[in-house]
Every structure is written in C-alpha cells, then in structure tokens.
C-alpha cells in the first residue's frame, strides 16, 4: 500500500510538473520571440524552432541553480524530518495550487507570474504546516525584493541602452554608418555575457565550469570572434540607397526641378526686357516648388536611412531574442522542476535529506515540457504578440530584450526565481521612458504590482487547501 501511494504521488508530481513546464512554454516564450516575428526578423517557424532549442538549452544547462532554490531554499526541509511525506504532499499541493491559479488568472488575462505563484504556494505551505520558523525568511526576502528590483534593473539598463543607441545612431548625421560601426561592439557584449554565463560555474552537466579568470578569457574570445564575424556581415550594407527602386519617388522630381531652374536662369539672361517679368515669376514659382520638394526628399531620405538602421538591428534583435529564450529557460524551468525534484527525492529516499542535486533527467523533462508548451500553444501566442506589437522595432526590441536577458541571467546565476515577464515589462518601460515608444499604457505596471500583492496569499491559501485534501486522501 505504501508503495502505491508513493507511485501515485510521483505520477501526480510528474503530471503537475509537466503542466507547469507546459504553461511556462505556452505563455511566456512569446515574450522573447513575439517581437522578432512581428518585425519580420524571423518567420513563425524559425522563431519556434530557435526558441525550442534555446529554451531547452537554458533549462537543461543552467536551470539547476534556480531549481535548487525553489526546491530547498524557501523552506527549511529539516522541519519535516520526522514526516518527510508531509513535505511531499506540500510540494504537490504547491504545484497544484500554482497551476490552478495560473489557469484561473490566464482566463481573465491577469498579468500574474508563474514564478510568483509557485514561490507563494511554497511559502504558504511552509508557514501553515511547518510553522513560521520553517521558512527561510531571509531567502524569501531576497526573492521578494528581487521581484521589485528585476524590473527596475532591466528598465534602467534598457533606458540607458536605448538612449545610447538613439544618441549614437539616430542622432548622428550618418545613422547607417554609425549603426554599422556600433554593431560589432554590441555583438561582442551579447556573446561575451552569454558565454560568461555558460562557462562560469555553469554547464555543470557538461562538466564545463571554469573559474572566473579562464571564464572571462574564454567569454571575451568568443565575443571577439562573433564581433569580427558581425563586422563582415554588415560591412557590405550600403549607406545611401543606390538602386532606383530604393530612392524616394520625389527624388526624380527634385532632379527635374533643379534642371528646370538652371535652364530658366539661362533663359532669363538671354531674354528680352519685356519677357523678363514673366520669366522671373515662373522662376520664383519653380524655386518655391524646388524648396518644397527638397524638404520632402530630405525627409524621405532620412526615413529611408532609419529603416536601414532598423534592418541592421534585425540581426541584433534575433540575437537578443535568442538570449532571452535561453535565460527564460534557465530561470523559469525551476517553477516546474523545483517542487517536482523535491517530490522525486522524497519518494526515492524516503527522507528529506536533500544533499543530492537536481537530476539531469528531471531538468530535461522540464525542458521538454517547455518545448511541448511552445509547440502546442506558445506559437499562437507568439503570432498574436507579433501581430499586435509592431511598435517594438528592432532597435527597441533589441534594447528591451537584451536588458531583460542580462537581468534574468544574472538572477539565474544567483539562484533567484524572478518573473521573466515582469522583467521584460520593466525593460519595455525603460525604452518607453527613453522616448523610444510613442505610447505606453502604464496601467500594466499597476496591475503587476497588484499581482505581486495578490499572488502570494492566493497561492498560499490554495496550497493549504490542496494540502489538506491530499493528506485526507492519502492517509
């Protein structure tokens, strides 16, 4: 009988863990890829494949840090030494509660976070069943403050990054040239940071965790190679539109008027006195027209060069989108895998001794769950986001996504479960505050703050409820 209960527990844990992973893949992957599809940088198919690969890699290779925190950082497992199964029920209840709350909130379109739900659920269980002392409050404090800090941090980075791009590129006399010059540096940063995350005490699963000096050196090397490659990629982009069709339509008009002006002046010189007033009149009219068309041509040329800048940033946007997908996988897989790994451990060993690391196959399961979520539902969300959010052009998309990715990766490194969505919202706001977006609805921020306040108690109460129900059923 005892075996059977454990088997059922395990099956349920796998089911809910997979559901959480599915939900992460279904709803949140759009954050990374939506805008790239919207700007035409990637097709939907390309975006889904890229996201699948990177989400899985992030989850599998770097996902263990955060999973460990969710599994044993929030509550003190020692409090459950006498009754390890209580912790098992609790974790299961937490997953069930988070999943239910997520489903409910999704139905109403509330901006709640998967991460916050699961953390709230675990805290709730810890306090009620294990007592106030069972919760690692200083850790909870760190996590909770990170929820406020992460959007602020990503917003600040995005603000300065976009302001910098605007100042350097858009505000220069030759935007396209500037964009070409800036690209290798930005590529260098993206690749260096990404590789640093991978090799500095990461990739334990691949036995590739280098100490800081070597990691720095390796990251800089990879960044440099990528930068040189990108330099050659953008090198051949022409600064001024040289083909007929890329020239603004008013261009030929302007050329023609210039000629007319020239010939009229010649005619004026050689004409007789009685014809001169009429010619002068015509000349003045042509001159005015020329001035008007010149303004139009200037404006159109300027617009054409901004569009070209955006086209260069398309590559950077794809890069940053991939970066977000990777970071997202690394941070959010924990929501599913953390509690699941705890249940598996308890069922397997019958104790709460959690010395062992999160098994690789569990991380892989989480990664697969995310990919399945992406394939079954996530692509639709990506499509919707891509269609609706066209304001996030490649320069803006890059600024927002890169800032969010750095923040998420940093948090993952520190083992802090943050909300990737809220972090991205912060980054988009940063771009908006740098006057990069024509209009933003700030009520979203209010909704997010409300969701912080509401999610924890709701997650906690639901978990308690499910916990007692589970215990009633199984004991």
Partner 1 sequence: MRIPFMSMFITSPFEGVQEHAEKVKECAWVFQKAIECIIEDRCEDFEHFRREIDKLESEADAIKRRIRGHLPKGTLLVVDKFELFRYLSEQDKVLDVVEEGLDWLSFRAAAGIPEVLEKDFMIFVEAVMDPIEQLIQMVTAARKYFSTFSENQRVIVKDMIRTLRQYEHEADKLEDAIKEKIFNSIDDAVAVFHLIRLTEIIGSIADHAENAGDMMRAMVAK
Binding residues for partner 1, per CB under 8 A?
Answer: 27, 30-31, 34, 102, 105-106, 109-112, 166, 170-173, 175, 291-292, 295-296, 298-299, 302-303, 306, 381, 384-385, 388-389, 391-393, 421-422, 424-425, 428-429, 432-433, 435, 437-448
Degrees, nearest 5: CA angle 15-20-21 = 95
Q: Which is nearer to partner 1, 181 or 271 (CB)?
A: 181
Minimum gap (Å) between residue 112 Cβ and partner 1:
7
Minimum gap (Å) between residue 309 Cβ and partner 1:
9
Minimum gap (Å) between residue 35 Cβ and partner 1:
9
Q: Which is nearer to partner 1, 133 or 376 (CB)?
A: 376
Q: What are phi and psi of 34, to 5 degrees?
A: -50, -50
Minimum gap (Å) between residue 27 Cβ and partner 1:
5
Q: Which is nearer to partner 1, 285 or 348 (CB)?
A: 285
Integer Cα distance of 63 and 45 in angstroms: 25
Task: Indicate the length of the chain as a whole number.
Answer: 475
DSSP for 243-257, written as a single string: SGGGS-THHHHHHHH
Q: Which is nearer to partner 1, 51 or 381 (CB)?
A: 381
Minimum gap (Å) between residue 472 Cβ and partner 1:
31
Integer Cα distance of 429 and 431 in angstroms: 5
Q: What is the largest CA-CA distance in the chain?
A: 118
Integer Cα distance of 113 and 447 in angstroms: 12
Q: Which is nearer to partner 1, 357 or 433 (CB)?
A: 433
Phi-psi region of 415 (alpha: psi -120 to 50; beta: other; left: phi over 0): left
Minimum gap (Å) between residue 444 Cβ and partner 1:
4
Q: Which is nearer to partner 1, 65 or 422 (CB)?
A: 422
Say which DSSP state 410 is in.
Answer: H
Minimum gap (Å) between residue 240 Cβ and partner 1:
14
Burial class (CB in 10 A: 0-12, 13-18, 19+), 274: exposed
Q: Which residues of 395-421 are buried (b: 16+ CB within 10 A; e: fewer)?
A: bbbbbbbbbbbbbbbbbbbebbbbbbb
Q: Which is nearer to partner 1, 396 or 413 (CB)?
A: 396
Q: Which is nearer to partner 1, 127 or 382 (CB)?
A: 382
- Identify whether the C-beta of residue 125 lies closer than 8 Å to the C-beta of residue 463: yes
From 289, 101, 308, 326, select the one nearest 193 (Cα to Cα). Answer: 326
Minimum gap (Å) between residue 409 Cβ and partner 1:
18
Alpha-carbon Rg of the chain, whole angstroms? 29
Integer Cα distance of 88 and 336 in angstroms: 14
């Amino acid at each position: 009988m005892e075996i059977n209960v454990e088997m059922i527990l395990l099956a349920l844990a796998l089911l809910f863990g997979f559901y959480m992973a599915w939900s992460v893949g279904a709803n949140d992957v759009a954050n990374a890829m939506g805008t790239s599809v919207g700007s035409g940088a990637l097709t939907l198919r390309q975006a889904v494949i890229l996201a699948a690969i990177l989400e899985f890699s992030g989850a599998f290779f770097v996902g263990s840090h955060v999973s460990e925190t969710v599994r044993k950082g929030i509550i003190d497992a020692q409090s459950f030494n006498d009754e390890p199964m209580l912790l098992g029920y609790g974790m299961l209840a937490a997953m069930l509660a988070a999943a239910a709350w997520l489903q409910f909130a999704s139905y109403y379109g509330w901006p709640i976070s998967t991460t916050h739900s699961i953390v709230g659920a675990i805290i709730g269980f810890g306090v009620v069943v294990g007592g106030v002392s069972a919760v690692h409050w200083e850790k909870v404090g760190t996590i909770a403050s990170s929820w406020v800090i992460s959007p602020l941090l990503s917003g600040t980075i995005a603000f300065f990054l976009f302001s910098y791009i605007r100042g350097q590129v858009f505000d220069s006399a030759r935007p396209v040239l500037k964009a070409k010059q800036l690209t290798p540096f930005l590529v260098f940063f993206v690749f260096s940071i990404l590789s640093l995350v991978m090799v500095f005490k990461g990739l334990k699963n691949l036995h590739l965790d280098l100490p800081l000096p070597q990691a720095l050196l390796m990251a800089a090397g990879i960044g440099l190679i990528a930068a040189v490659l990108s330099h050659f990629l953008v090198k051949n982009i022409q600064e001024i539109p040289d083909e007929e069709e890329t020239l603004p339509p008013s261009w030929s008009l302007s050329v023609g008027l210039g000629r007319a002006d020239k010939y009229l002046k010649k005619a004026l010189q050689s004409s007789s006195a009685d014809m001169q007033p009429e010619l002068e009149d015509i000349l003045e009219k042509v001159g005015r027209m020329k001035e008007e068309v010149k303004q139009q041509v200037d404006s159109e040329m300027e617009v054409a060069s901004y569009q070209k800048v955006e086209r260069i940033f398309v590559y950077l946007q794809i890069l940053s989108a991939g970066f977000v997908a990777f970071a997202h996988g690394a941070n959010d897989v924990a929501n599913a895998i953390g509690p699941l790994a705890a249940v598996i451990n308890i069922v397997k060993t019958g104790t709460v001794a959690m010395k062992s690391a999160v098994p690789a196959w569990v991380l892989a399961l989480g990664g697969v769950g995310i990919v399945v979520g992406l394939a079954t539902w996530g692509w639709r969300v990506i499509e919707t986001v891509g269609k609706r959010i066209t304001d996030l052009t490649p320069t803006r998309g890059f600024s927002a996504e890169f800032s969010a990715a750095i923040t998420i990766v940093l948090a993952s490194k520190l083992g802090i479960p943050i909300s990737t969505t809220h972090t991205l919202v912060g980054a988009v706001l940063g771009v908006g505050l740098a006057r990069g977006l024509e209009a933003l609805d700030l009520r979203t921020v209010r909704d997010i703050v409300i969701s912080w306040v509401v999610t924890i108690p709701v997650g906690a109460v639901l978990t308690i409820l499910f916990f007692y129900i589970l215990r009633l059923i199984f004991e």
